[in-house]
Amino acid sequence: MSKSSRVLEPVGLIDNAGGTQLRREVSELIELGIETILIDFTNITFMDSSGLGALVDILQRVRKNESELYLCSLNDQVQIIMELTKMDKVFNLLPDRAAFDRVIQS
């Protein structure tokens, strides 16, 4: 993994509190000059609409800084939210960490 990429592994819920924490973590990475960020959803059990809002805000911040954001390992509930809101067309979604590793190595 290059110095300019980082992986975040949130745990539990991405709701208002979880989204706020994720925003903070991504902001810190952006300030460090990280160019590529992966949020690995392996340990996420549920995401609500405020969590989705946080992800949209995070994506806007990342793009504003000309960085890239990827999401991987979405569970069925999160995947359904992404599809229903058409956000699956907006975010870079990957099946797993191995797919991310291939992306950053290419």
Cα–Cα distances in angstroms (integers) from residue 106 to residues 2, 37, 90, 99, 100, in the given order: 12, 15, 21, 11, 10
Structurally, the chain folds into a number of domains equal to 1
Residue 63 Cα to chain centre, angstroms = 12
Residue 84 lies in a domain: yes
- Provide the CATH number for the domain around residue 78: 3.30.750.24
CA distance 15 to 49: 7
Q: Is 37 exposed, middle or buried, given 0-12, 13-18 or 19+ CB atoms closer than 10 A?
A: buried
Q: Residue 106: what pLDDT?
A: 82
Partners of residue 93 on adjacent β-strands = 71
**The two three-digit tokens of residue 55, written as one number:** 């992800």
Residue 106 lies in a domain: no
Q: Residue 7: what pLDDT?
A: 97
CA distance 30 to 67: 8
DSSP-derived 3-state class of residue 36? strand
| pLDDT tens-digit map of 26-84 | 999 999 999 999 999 999 999 999 999 999 999 999 999 999 999 999 999 999 999 99
Residue 105 lies in a domain: no
CA distance 72 to 103: 12
Residue 80 lies in a domain: yes
Domain that holds residue 54: 5-100
